[in-house]
Structure formats: C-alpha cells, structure tokens
C-alpha cells in the first residue's frame, strides 16, 4: 500500500490547554448497576466550560456568539453541544465554523458533570441547579439522571433510546467523587463497542477514491489497525492530521484481539 505524502496547512483555530475530563468505559451485561443512574448518551460534540470559554475535548476553542454563553456560571462545566438525535454531522458543521452566528441558535449545552466540585454526582449537579435558580442561562440544560432500581429498567430504557434513534445510554455510579480519566464507575451502553486510536498514516485510495484518502492506519493498544469506512467525501478529500485521536466503532474482537469491522466515527 502507498502512503499519501503528508502536507502542511495553516489552521485558523485557536487552542487552549487540553481539558482533563472523565471518560467512559464499555458497559457489560454481567455488571450489577442497581442504584446507579442512567441518562441518554447524546451524539453531539463534547465541550468543557472553564468558567469563561468553551473548549473542545482536544483543546480547540469554540467561537459561539455571546448570546449562547450569556448567563453561564463562573465555574467549570462538562457537557455536550447538541441539537437532536441523528444530527451529529450538522452539529459538527456548526461548532467548527468561525462564524459565531451560523447555527448556534439550534444548539443547547447539555451538562452532565460539574467538575472540581465536592460531593457525589447529585451534589455536584445541584451546584449548577442552584446557580440556574437565580441566573438565566437559556442554552444550558442539566442532563436528567434516572436511578436504576433494577437491571431490566436499564434494558428497557436502552431499547427505547436506540429504537428512537438515540446513540445509547450512559450508566454511572452517582456516589463517586469527581475524577478524570477512565474508571469502571462510568460506562457507555451502545449497540456496538467503540474506542480510540492514534492516526499514524494515510493510505491512498483506489478506484472511486483515487487521489483521495482510502483508509487510515492507527495505533491501537500497541498494534496497527486499518479503518477504511465511515468517512464522508469531505473527510476523504481533507483527511485528519497525523497524530489525531480517532474514535471508531467495531463489532466484537477477533481471536487475536483486533477490533472487527472498525468504522470511523470522528
């Protein structure tokens, strides 16, 4: 396979320090999650509010209009920029524009964590709820956390979300203090598994993709995997940069531990 030569281009995006966030592990059916909480996993763009500005998971500064963040609190929030189910590509096109007036009115900021606050999840979210009781922030929504009384409740809720076009469900132990990184107390429950890898090379396309990206090679847990599907025409013409962190979905593991049928997500 031939590797497309790496080319340089100038980015107009501004960057801040990459935020340290809590991340999700994959849910497994044999786990006992009674007394945990569940919420819909919104298929939007994650954003960290540091008290003055919105920052992407990778450290890029978003440029919403002042009206969008009017009334936001002076303390940190973690949530999802979102519009509706099945609208991910449109959401990305809005938040990636440099024009603050383009489409932001369609989005809300759906908060599922209040970082750096004391107490359990309920107490941390209450800090925001108390603030919103005395301040008007029209674009903020607090993601509802529903207690799981029995395992079947989670399965029914999952089926309802997925059949309605949702991405899946987040399951969390609400009694954990705030932390960053991955722990088994915050899980994603989806119809497929997903993970991340680091892009190391671009593979040139053939046939209909001649002259464009055909696939990417990524480093995943010490091995190289190839991802060739899930890309838009624009992404094939303008591939992600070498070194980018790539999210992909897959359907089980091979006997060698490689993801089966990996598909690019974002």
User: Which residues are designated catalytic?
Assistant: 41
The number of angstroms, rounded, from the C-alpha of 199 to the middle of its chain's C-alpha atoms is: 18
Cα–Cα distances in Å, from 235 out to 154, 193, 266? Answer: 36, 22, 10
Please classify residue 159 by burial: count the beta carbons closer than 10 Å to its beta carbon, then call 0-12 exposed, 13-18 middle and 19+ buried: exposed
For residue 105, which of 89, 85, 90 has the smallest C-alpha distance? 90
Letter string b/e over residues 175-208, b meaning 16 or more CB atoms within 10 A of that residue's CB = eeebeeeeeebbbbbbeebbbebebebbbbbeee
Q: What does the alpha-carbon distance between residue 71 and residue 69 come to, in Å, rounded to a whole number? A: 6
């Amino acid at each position: 396979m031939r590797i497309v030569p790496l080319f340089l281009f100038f980015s107009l995006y501004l960057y801040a320090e990459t935020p340290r966030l809590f991340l999700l592990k994959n849910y497994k059916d044999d786990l006992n999650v009674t007394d945990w909480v569940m919420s819909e996993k919104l298929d939007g763009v994650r954003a960290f509010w540091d008290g003055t500005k919105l920052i992407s998971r990778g450290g890029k500064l978003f440029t919403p209009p002042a009206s969008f963040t009017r009334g936001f609190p002076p303390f940190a929030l973690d949530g999802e920029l979102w519009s509706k189910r099945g609208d991910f590509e449109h959401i990305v096109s809005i938040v990636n524009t440099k024009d603050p007036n383009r489409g932001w009115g369609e989005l809300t900021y759906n908060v599922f964590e209040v970082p750096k606050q004391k107490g359990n999840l309920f107490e941390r979210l209450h800090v925001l709820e108390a603030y919103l009781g005395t301040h008007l922030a029209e674009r903020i929504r607090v993601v509802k956390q529903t207690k799981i009384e029995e395992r079947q409740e989670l399965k029914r809720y999952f089926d309802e979300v997925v059949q309605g076009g949702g991405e899946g469900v987040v399951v969390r132990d609400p009694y954990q203090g705030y932390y960053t990184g991955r722990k088994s107390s915050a899980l994603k429950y989806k119809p497929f598994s997903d993970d991340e890898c680091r892009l190391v090379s671009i593979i040139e396309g053939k046939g209909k993709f001649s002259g464009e990206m055909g696939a990417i090679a990524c480093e995943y847990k010490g091995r190289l995997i190839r991802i060739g599907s899930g890309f838009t025409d624009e992404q094939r013409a303008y591939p992600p940069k070498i070194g980018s962190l790539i999210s992909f979905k897959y359907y089980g593991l091979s006997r060698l531990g490689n993801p089966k049928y990996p598909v690019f997500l974002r």
